[in-house]
Amino acid sequence: MKKLVSLILTVALMSTCINAQAQRYPRFKVLAFYNKHVERAHVEFADDAIKFFKGLTIGNGFVFDTTSRMSDLTDEKIKDYQLLMMINDFPHSNEQRKAFEKYMETGGGWLGFHVAAYNDRTTNWPWFVNFLGGGVFNRNSWPPLPAKLVVDDNKHPVTKALPSTFIAPLNEWYQWKPSPRENKKVKVLASLSVDNYPLGLKDILPDGDTPVVWTNTDYRMIYLNMGHGDNIFSDATQNKLIIDAFRWVVGADKKAIHLKNSIMTQATTPSGRVFSIDIMRGITLCLMLLVNDLFEPGVPSWMVHTKAETDGMGLADWVFPGFLFMAGLSIPYAMAARQKKEIPGSGCYCMCYFERLAYSS
């Protein structure tokens, strides 16, 4: 009888979890545009960025789609996405620009990196210049170098967790004219410290105001100047800034289910492991080892299996269902991690299945 009760409870608990997940899934959808045929350092950044954001989807219930075709920027294609990410490119044709303008003017979200905000005298897209806060690309530093950044607003959700200054990994830094800070609609969140000047060797930023992260408060958008080379995601502080910028743009969408209560706020390691699951698994495994040795005379009755005629459950009665629950909960994570490592379809599921078998034996 008690085994039946355990089984029913376990199944009920698991189906509740699966149901709750299914109702909330996906929390939101992101479409990231990137270009494979641009300068090498920008492609390297795109590869890293895609890996980084795909890693964040594990356990967070959001969809991260990518495309290297800017022609996908159409009303029809983007209407279901809560965030468009421009990793190393920007809209080119008139049709793409019109679709982007319409999307942003009707509450769409944008997270742009580095060259995504590039515009010069030949761009001929006044709407975009205004969207970015009025700045036109003026000059850059070269070669890529680390730089000291100053947090301009330590109250804003994107930057409030950051120290007042930090060293950002090497990047090619852009300066804009006029500085977006001169626009009252713009909130600058981080900028280059004047301590960096003169910054660069071949191309030098000698002075001036250089906002690096900002938002135009008329739109749901954040621009981050980082995005050159394969070192961008090498610094925990900067990663925090990037994640918080991403969270903020999504969270500002009134239509989307917010990230507030997401697992994203739980402690995870850089590899994406979820501590709470690891700890729970450890506890159930330890208890499994323990209960097998518990049947010694003298141990308290609540620690062992209750007798068949007793209406109740002991610790030992709970351990195996607990173990099953943890194994079941781990399966989607294991599959997602396998997919992240790009082990193709059926092989992935077979591997996960055998891993579960190995784990259970």
For Zn ion, the binding residues (CB under 5 A) are: 172, 228
Residues 6 or more apart whose Cβ sits within 8 Å of residue 140: 172, 173, 174, 175, 200, 203, 205
Residue 220 vs 228, nearer CB to Zn ion: 228
Closest separation in Å from C-beta 246 to Zn ion: 20
Nearer to Zn ion, 187 or 228 (CB): 228
Residue placing its CB nearer to Zn ion in the complex, 42 or 181: 42
Place of tokens 């629950």: 325
Q: Which two tokens stand for residue 57?
A: 């989807």
Place of tokens 């800034």: 241
Instruction: Please state the closest distance from residue 191 (CB atom) to Zn ion, in A.
Output: 18
Q: For the CB of residue 43, give the shortest distance to Zn ion in the complex, in Å.
A: 11
Whichever of 44 and 153 has its CB closer to Zn ion, that residue is 44
Shortest Cβ distance from residue 131 to Zn ion (Å)?
Answer: 20
Residue 154 has a CB neighbour count (10 Å cut-off) of 12
Q: How far is the CB of 183 from Zn ion (least distance, A)?
A: 24
User: Least distance from C-beta 38 to Zn ion, angstroms?
Assistant: 9
Q: Which residue is nearest to Zn ion (CB)?
A: 228
Specify the residue, 172 or 244, whose C-beta has the smaller distance to Zn ion: 172
Between 58 and 226, CB nearer to Zn ion:
226
Under 8 Å between Cβ of 233 and 52: yes
Measured CA to CA, the distance from residue 218 to residue 184 in angstroms comes to: 10
3-state secondary structure 26-92: CCCEEEEECCCCCCHHHHHHHHHHHHHHHHHHCCCCCEEEEECCHHHCCHHHHCCCCEEEECCCCCC
Taking the least distance from each CB to Zn ion, the nearer of 27 and 228 is 228
- The whole-angstrom separation of Cα 81 and Cα 104 is 12
Strands (E), the chain: 29-33, 63-67, 83-86, 109-113, 136-140, 145-151, 165-171, 174-177, 186-192, 211-216, 220-224
Cβ 68 to Zn ion shortest distance, Å: 18
